[in-house]
Structure 1
Amino acid sequence: MFRSSGGKIATVLVVAVFLILVLHNEESASTALLPYLPVLPKQSSSTSSIARLSWLRERIALSEKSWKKSVDLRDDMAKQHPDNPKIPFFPTDFLKYPYTIWDFFPATWTCPHDFQRVGRLGDGGKWVCGMSLYENVPAPTFPSTEIVETREVAAVPSDAGIVIYSFGINGESSFEAEMLERVPSARIWGYDFSVDGWGKQIPTTQRHRTFFEKIGLGDEDLHDASPPFYTLPTLMATNNHTYIDILKIDIEGSEYKALDTMMDAFEGIKSASGKSVLPIGQVMIELHLGDGINLDTRNAGGSVDFGRFKKWWERLEKMGMRPAWIEINLFAVTLGKEKSNPRCTEYVWVNARDENSVLWR
């Protein structure tokens, strides 16, 4: 009886200690029990501020090392293929060439903060690096809760709060709705020529923090066309924005030329180290491959093969963008044999060179 009671007491003590550790872990944001949710040390003094910065720099350095290794492996793997740079997106002889285009571009750069999914599960939801940091940005004063029809979005100064651009709405706005709910400082500019407005997920009470226009994102300004197209630099200038915290893009293949135009416009912006940097904190984007050989859609810019894709991707990397998350969209794979290859993939790019991002403050 004594041994049995002693065993029970020991078990209770072990469980109690475990619960105390878990609660302490949640309260102090320690990563001891949650290594997959790295959190910066608390900033309670100048000493901890230095430790915080040192911790962040170490994490970024590790991510850069991992990413650079994947770049070297990408180049080596491409050179080994006899058709380089015309490597098929999806191999016909998988035993001989056991990789698809997505294997050349893995998400090897680790976000040093929490990585959270925002919006619904499946198509429409997005992953956000450092979501908790966006949530902690103080909200500007919004003058009204009425639906705003002006481009200024409630006349709040353009540089206040978190600025989000969303291209490709398609009637599904769960991502935008949750960002508005969880990030008090967020304002969202949305564009889509195929729908008349936001999805029903955004309540009327939050519409004063949004702006929508029925236009498309393109590689040139075609304002009088039907439908009209605008470039990203033109939209930013029109909205009086010099910086975008979060850019969400799902424009069914038009992303290549549209982002080429964006990089052309911002190539002159330099970081403290003198390297080109985009004025964008992070990008959530769905990449499309068309039929796997050529991508011919309106505003897509014609043919896109492996060589073109690789050059486009590496130009983004040269401007500080790093692939931090990948999610292959398998929905099209289920639609039929003719679409059996996964031609659509979601990526999150984090700007590792950005000095204005909330992630690095």
Structure 2
Amino acid sequence: MIRSGGGKAITCIVILAILILVLHNEQSTTTALLPYLPVLPKSQTASTESIARLSWLRERISLSEKTWQKSVEQRGQMAAQHPDNPSIPFFPTDFLKYPYTIWDFFPATWTCPHDFQRVGRLGDGGKWVCGMSIYESLPAPEFPARDENVEARGAPAPNDGLVIYSFGINGESSFEAEMLERVPSARIWGYDFSVDGWGKQIPSSERHRTFFKKVGLGKEDLHSASPPFYTLPSLMKENGHMYIDILKIDIEGSEYDALDTFMDAFDGIQSASGNSVLPIGQVMIELHLGDGVHLDGPNAGADVGFDRFKKWWERLERMGMRPSWIEINLFAVTLGSGKSDPRCTEYVWVNARDEKNVLWR
């Protein structure tokens, strides 16, 4: 009986030790994956609700990272199997042999842990937003009405409130109008060299929370050119911004070089997570492939083929951005333009590594 009882005790101790190791490893893996999230509170004064919510958020992000990582591995495998790699055609003609397009290599596999809502009009102009309810809940700083003849006093600091940048307005501002209506803390900076201001969707009562400049977003600063171009780091410096919560960008093919310059400015600067992270919460962007491999336009850069696109995309991923939504733009295909391939696609990227992102607070 003594031997039997001792054996049971030893067995229980071994099982307990194994469980402790498993739980410790699981927590360590999550902590390594999400170093910017606070450790689960151990204080007795911490609310059960806050502990449960943080635990849930960690679990959701961890699952999203695993799903995204799997798609990254599959991307590499699929590319390696193609005989033309790294010059894989965007739209193969033999779909029995190669049943995929460029967009199938880059699916939106990272799940936003919060709500995903459509903001702005249906169709072109509206955007999908991860965590819209989180943005709506943010407290608003005081926004004094602006007078064209009198400088506003007591205006909020540049980084107060929700900072939104919008590039490529083209007279359609339904997204910006709804963000201003629903998010009391939002302020929006808009840029477009082809129009003189915001679209009519933004009412005059909300214009004091918007700022517009007739310039384009470029890979280098050409302030005296016609039209003038600014880089994103230069605009942030001019506005006194250290961080952009939401970036909306539709600049007809110039996005590759413009974001290259943005990544150049912050690559190598480590955040609390120990990685280079872009100072941006999430991005709504339309990607353009152009006709063939060359991008037209006043700010077009080098030819963009599969290899260039893949390296550009994976650099964004390395700096924390995760694809969370995809919407193929079929306008060019359906309007009889002679383009049979869907060469424009809307993506939403969420910054999953950023300790400043209000979505993780």
Bin of the TM-score, shorter chain as denominator length: 0.7 to 0.9
1:274 deviates by 1.0
The residue type paired with residue 51 of structure 1 is: A
Please tell me whether residue 104 in structure 1 is matched to residue 85 in structure 2: no
The residue type paired with residue 168 of structure 1 is: G
1:148 deviates by 9.5
Distance 2:329 2:154 in 1: 36
**Which residue does 1:55 correspond to in 2?**
56
1:221 deviates by 0.1
1:149 deviates by 10
Bigger CA drift: 123-132 or 153-162?
A: 153-162
Contact 2:325 2:349 survives alignment (8 Å): yes
Give the secondary-structure state (helix, strand or coil) at the position aligned to 1:75.
helix
Distance 2:168 2:137 in 1: 27
Contact 1:154 1:208 survives alignment (8 Å): no
Please tell me whether residue 243 in structure 1 is matched to residue 243 in structure 2: yes
Distance 1:115 1:331 in 2: 23
CA deviation string 1:204-258 (max 9, x = no partner): 0000000001000000000000000000000000000000000000000000000
Write out aligned runs for 1:48-197 (5 A). Answer: 48-144=49-145, 146=147, 155-197=155-197
**Which residue does 1:297 correspond to in 2?**
297
Give the secondary-structure state (helix, strand or coil) at the position aligned to 1:110.
coil
Bigger CA drift: 240-249 or 48-57?
A: 48-57
**Structure 1 residue ranges (4+ consecutive) displaced by more than 4 angstroms after TM superposition:** 145-150
Please tell me whether residue 347 in structure 1 is matched to residue 336 in structure 2: no
**Which residue does 1:325 correspond to in 2?**
325
Distance 1:79 1:230 in 2: 38
1:266 deviates by 1.1
Bigger CA drift: 291-300 or 328-337?
A: 291-300
Contact 2:222 2:229 survives alignment (8 Å): yes
**Which residue does 1:261 correspond to in 2?**
261
Contact 1:165 1:188 survives alignment (8 Å): yes
In structure 1, runs of 5+ residues without a counterpart are 1-43
Q: 1:58 to 1:155 in 2, by over 3 A?
A: same
Aligned length: 317
CA deviation string 1:120-146 (max 9, x = no partner): 000000000000000010010011155
1:335 deviates by 2.4
Let me know the Cα RMSD of the aligned residues.
Answer: 1.8
Please tell me whether residue 252 in structure 1 is matched to residue 252 in structure 2: yes
Distance 1:149 1:219 in 2: 35
Name the TM-score, length of structure 1 as normaliser: 0.85
Contact 1:281 1:351 survives alignment (8 Å): yes
Please tell me whether residue 201 in structure 1 is matched to residue 189 in structure 2: no
Identity of aligned residues (%): 80
Q: 1:149 to 1:334 in 2, by over 3 A?
A: farther
Give the secondary-structure state (helix, strand or coil) at the position aligned to 2:338.
helix
Q: 1:296 to 1:153 in 2, by over 3 A?
A: farther
Contact 2:273 2:353 survives alignment (8 Å): no
1:295 deviates by 2.0
Contact 2:232 2:258 survives alignment (8 Å): yes
The residue type paired with residue 312 of structure 2 is: W
**Which residue does 1:27 correspond to in 2?**
none
The residue type paired with residue 216 of structure 2 is: G
The residue type paired with residue 248 of structure 1 is: K
Name the TM-score, length of structure 2 as normaliser: 0.85
Contact 1:153 1:210 survives alignment (8 Å): no
Distance 1:153 1:299 in 2: 38
Contact 1:116 1:129 survives alignment (8 Å): yes
The residue type paired with residue 178 of structure 2 is: E
Contact 2:144 2:153 survives alignment (8 Å): no
In structure 2, runs of 5+ residues without a counterpart are 1-44
**Which residue does 1:212 correspond to in 2?**
212
